With several copies, the nearest count.
Chain A
Amino acid sequence: MKAIDQSHGKLFMDPDPDHARKFFRKKNRKKMNKVMDLGQAIETFVLDGEYLAIGGFGSNRTPIAACHEIVRQGRKGMGFLGHTSTHDMQVLSAGEVYDRIDISYGVGLEARGLSRCSRAYLESGKVMVTEWTNYALTARLKAASMGIPFMPARTMLGTDTFKKSAAIQAICPFTNTTLALVPALYPDVAVIHVHEADIYGNARFKGIAVADIELAHASKRLIITTERLIRHDEISRDPSMTQIPFLLVDAVCEVPYGAYPGGMPGEYFSDEDHLTDWLDAEKNDETFNAFIKKEIFGCRNHEDYLNLHGGRERMAALRAEECLLHKEFYREDV
């Protein structure tokens, strides 16, 4: 397979499946109790200089509690997977946690506007940026999850997105189709937030999966944060429902409202007022520093953060907002 066109973006991670296999051979796959405190999980498995990926999509089912903890613990020099990363990227940019990024979508908070902080950080020249598309990044994770060095795709062709990626163009030997080959991506560590997990790490969630199943399989280490722990026999009673099996998981942390101020399907809607506060605070550096000091460094943990924003009462309101939207879940006659 000969490259007919080469891109110029930096390839941050080694796509060689034999190198990854060496790691996975030694990885502990025991069905053991992996429950720990979020602080401990981040301390143990999220390391300076390594490559981090965050599950969910934008502000949906995104482990924001873990992002705060990563900033709070002062991680630096990480690689980051900006695979439609919105508020999570905003938090990690505030902490200047990463200095290189594979990006498909970042900076923005979708319909809410742009994060001045994320934007300024990428404009500063402090961050090495390699461009991709949402599908290209999904395909890179899929290749890793399948233990192959690349995935062929029909996207990015002809654009500057391709030129600033680390993909290779090649011709299909069966059909002569021109393809973009995207290299496998094995993140060092990923954090994924779910609805339910047992103590071993068997995890399941409701609603769209985005690329979290691929991510769970591709990542060398995996932290699961979960709205609630459930008994293992709940899992084993209906194993068709398990999306992430325990073999992949290194830590299980019970973090209720772990996606707040983002939303969790069927549980609670995003706190749009507080997300607006974030965007507003960024308009002025001084304000924003004070804001981060209060919101992240001023909190010992996610519970503190929730209490800072109305605690149980506010959460109840967000639950109602989500559930009223989904009133058909509860009433048959609509």
Chain B
Amino acid sequence: MKTYNHMEMMIIAAARELENGSTAAVGTGAPCAAAMLAQKTHAPDLIILFEAGGISPRLVDMPISVGDSRTFHQASKAGTMGDVMDACARGTVDYTFLGGAQIDRYGNLNSTMIGRDHKKPKVRFPGSGGANDFASLCWRTMVMTVQDKRRFVEKLDFITTPGWLDGGNSREQSGLPRGTGPYRIITHMAVMDFEPVSKRMRVISLHPGYSFDDVQEECGFELLRSEIILDTPKPGVSELEILRKEVDPRGYLIGR
């Protein structure tokens, strides 16, 4: 029996991707938890930015808004949205973490609407917020989402946020800053990256207890396989302890 749940696995797998000393633009929820966990484990010098203006805060508690007081608690600077977005545009932000209602094989995201008619959508979601900006301007975009075929779809109803667009070199041709793009997709089952030429999503690591077929089953498009598919190391005792006791002690996300 597993001693951790889906959300815990996802947050821990995501945290591991963040290099020490790098910069990461994050939102609330799971991405923020991953950044906090990284800081408290292997990446104490991870620099966190929040889009509303918080620059390098000390995160003692999980923010409920990307602009609440916790996002600039003991920060280096409580600045402006422009300050943070400009930092991304200048090329000084390494990572961003996003979510979305739908994702396609090229890592494009939809957080705007479900339906055909933009004037009268079937379901309206919040929209881009800063997601499109972060995915356009930060070097590496990471996405955290539950592996679910209703989310991993053949075709998005609306491309809110750019991934590799139509694959190949279409992203670079669009004018988006050179060298940027989706880097990792982290679900509760696997970690995916993108095949370098076609830019199609491919599985590079499977979490304990899941096979490639399990992942493909919960994906609405055909996934590629990396030449070597790794086994994601299972959550460590100390990772779990820190996540549960220090990052999300009230269980907002991990539900304990």
Contact = CB atoms under 8 A, between A and B. Distances in A.
| Complex: A in contact with B (CB within 8 Å) | yes
B159 A57 contact: no
Given A18-B177, A106-B127, A161 B159 contact: yes
A148 B51 CA distance: 19
Interface SS, B side: loop
A157 B175 contact: yes
Interface of B: 21-23, 28-29, 45, 47, 50-58, 60-61, 63-82, 85-92, 94, 108, 112, 118-133, 136-137, 139, 158-162, 165, 170-171, 174-179, 252
B128 A134 contact: yes
Contact of A159 (B47, B58, B94, B132): B132
Nearest to B55: A245
Contacts of A122: 121, 124
A190 B112 CA distance: 26
21 contacts: A17-B91, A25-B139, A56-B67, A57-B65, A58-B65, A59-B65, A103-B127, A104-B127, A104-B130, A129-B118, A134-B128, A135-B81, A135-B82, A147-B91, A158-B175, A161-B160, A207-B69, A207-B78, A211-B80, A245-B55, A270-B64
A29 B85 contact: no
B69 to A, nearest CB: 5
Nearest to A267: B69
Contacts of A3: none
Interface of A: 17-18, 20-25, 27, 29-31, 56-61, 82, 84, 86, 103-108, 110-112, 114, 119, 122-125, 128-129, 131-136, 138, 142, 144-148, 153-161, 164, 169, 177-180, 200, 202, 206-211, 213-214, 217, 233, 235-237, 239-240, 242-243, 245-247, 263, 265-266, 269-270, 272, 322, 325-326, 328
B165 A242 contact: no
A228 B139 CA distance: 36
Nearest to A122: B124
B125 A107 contact: yes
A57 B52 contact: yes
